[in-house]
Chain A
Amino acid sequence: MQIIQLTVQDLSMAALLVLLLAGLSFVMRLQLERQIILSAIRTTIQLLLIGLVLKSLFAGSNLFWISLMAFVMLAVAGREVMQRQKRPFSGWWGYGLGTLSMFVSSFATAIFALLVVIGTQPWYLPQYSIPLLGMMLGNTMNGVALALDRLTSSAWQQRAVIETRLSLGQEWSEAIRDISRDSLRTGMLPIINAMAAAGIVSLPGMMTGQILSGAPPLEAVKYQILIMFMIASGTGFATVIATWLGARRLFDARQRLSLYRLSNSGVK
């Protein structure tokens, strides 16, 4: 099967649907029309740009440029993780905590997949490494952001409970154990659910894309299984790292609950 090339007219017809939605929003006074159109323009420009970037990356297959691209993706994901939290850690920790855990987990998992599982030549072959890392980061970002948001806001709400447990002589790790566990579950459940529902409720995007471009369905399915496993473990490990570091950071060297380390805390 040959891939059917899309023309500008094809995309314009799809864009009509978005305009129709914006019109509907206007009629129903949802006040979303501006956002709908702006987001549609953003998606067009951003995707076109990344298409150009990928085109030149694929042409060169240069490790330096591929790494640069990977770190830009990581930096943006790190910022996103921080912005999705109501009370992130203040200072460098707010940014560094999510970014570091995503770096360790996503990069390690992606490199493992490239080197050991797929065995691309060279291992950083951009056609594989960039999409793989992108999918890893996108999902890991969700997990880490959910877990950290849960951790910091629960600690904030339950500070009296935590201090009670400390006052009864519990170690910091025990005093925050229920909250950590809850945060871990919150971070990991979406990807676990996605694994369980894959193929029945949803056809994962990557597999769909491969099938659209002519790959045999079973080959596409094998890749999707690989990706699912990588994403699930990568998200899980990153969530564990972020939650553990975050929980530790909530206490000072004398194991006192230190909520002043969160931004928007209003604590002296």
Chain B
Amino acid sequence: MSTLRINDLAVLDIQPASFTLQAGECVGLSGPSGEGKSLLLRAMADLIPHSGKIHLDGEDCDHINPAQWRRRVGLLLPESHWWSDRVGDHFSRPDRDMVGVLGFNEAVFGWQISRCSSGEKQRLALLRLLANQPQVLLLDEPTASLDPDNVGRVEALIEKYRHEHKAPVLWVSHDPAQLGRVASRQLRLEDKQLQEPVTCR
């Protein structure tokens, strides 16, 4: 059970934004490319300088060790990057059950990164993030290079994780249909301002 409260968060030229991600809720974030959705997520993970306050369960981001904050507020970047040769070297804790949900078996931990397709890498990046068991998920286009079958698997896995951990999820996507499926409400970043236009579901 975790709640992420954002107060007057501002990055570069984005207007200060305030919103709260309640425990176990999935919030969609959409908007034109280049508006700063990714910047907002990176600021929430404290990867870039920002103004405003972020509280996780009442704890101020500025008072928590940054590495620990980023383990708790897990950010999935839109492009996956890898630093070792083997897939397994990137996992803090190999979880056999979870890889199964995304259509891998445990042999995947021995695979060479250089042989993985971009879709495989995107799914593995999500698994790598979930292996840290973050309390909050910030997902930046988690299904951008996946085929429809795998989009379904990823959506199901995140749904499962959200329920089991009561984790709030912020989901960036350019696909309104997907956000309609997964999110209970939506935010929109347009003209450098964050708005809450419609409630779906």
Q: Is A90 an interface residue (CB 8 A)?
A: no
- Bound Cα distance from A160 to B81, whole angstroms: 7
**Pairs A–B under 8 Å by Cβ, sample size 7:** A164-B81, A166-B47, A166-B67, A167-B75, A254-B62, A255-B66, A257-B47
Q: Are B79 and A165 in contact, with the CB atoms below 8 A?
A: no
Range class of the B interface residue count: 20 to 34
Q: Does A91 count as interface, using CB distance less than 8 angstroms? A: no
Bound-complex Cα distance A168 to B77 (A): 10
Residues of B within 8 A of A (CB): 12, 42, 45-49, 62, 66-68, 70-71, 74-75, 77, 79-83, 90, 92, 128-129, 132
**Residues in chain B near residue A172, CB distance under 8 A:** 67
Residues of A within 8 A of B90 (CB): 168
Taken residue by residue from 159 to 180, chain A's Cβ proximity to chain B (1 for < 8 Å, 0 otherwise) reads as 0110111111111100000100
A29 proximal to B (CB < 8 A):
no
Q: Besides the contacts A165-B83, A167-B70, A254-B46, what 15 more A-B pairs have beta carbons closer than 8 Å?
A: A160-B77, A161-B83, A164-B80, A164-B83, A166-B47, A166-B66, A167-B74, A167-B75, A168-B70, A169-B70, A170-B67, A255-B66, A255-B67, A256-B46, A256-B48
Within 8 A of B (CB), among A254-268: 254-257, 268
**A166 CB to nearest chain B CB (Å):** 6
**Chain B residues in 8 Å Cβ range of A171:** 67
* Given A252-B49, A256-B47, A268-B12, also A166-B77 (CB < 8 A): no
Closest-CB distance, B46 to chain A (whole angstroms): 6
B68 CB contact (under 8 Å) in A168, A169, A256, A257: A169
Interface residues on chain A, number (Cβ under 8 Å)? 19
> Within the complex, which residue of A163, A256, A257 is in contact with B77, where a contact is CB–CB below 8 Å?
A163
Contact in complex: B83, A167 (CB < 8 Å): no
Q: Are B81 and A254 in contact (CB under 8 A)?
A: no
CB of B27, distance to nearest CB on chain A (Å): 19
* Residues in A neighbouring B48, C-beta threshold 8 A: 256
Which residue of A is nearest B62, CB measured? A254
Contact B46 A161 (CB under 8 A): no
Q: Name the B residues within 8 Å of A252 (CB-CB).
A: 49
Q: Could you tell me if B132 and A168 are in contact, using CB atoms closer than 8 angstroms?
A: yes
Residue of chain B at shortest CB distance from A268: B12
Interface residues of A in 204-255 (CB under 8 A from B): 252, 254-255
Complex Cα distance, B132 from A164, in Å, reads 13
Roughly how many angstroms separate A158 CA and B107 CA in the complex, as a whole number? 28
With A169-B70, A256-B66 given, is the CB distance from A178 to B83 under 8 Å?
A: yes
| Across-interface contacts of B81 in A (CB, < 8 A) | 160-161, 164
- If A256-B47, A256-B48, A268-B12 touch, does A167 touch B66 (CB 8 Å cutoff)? no
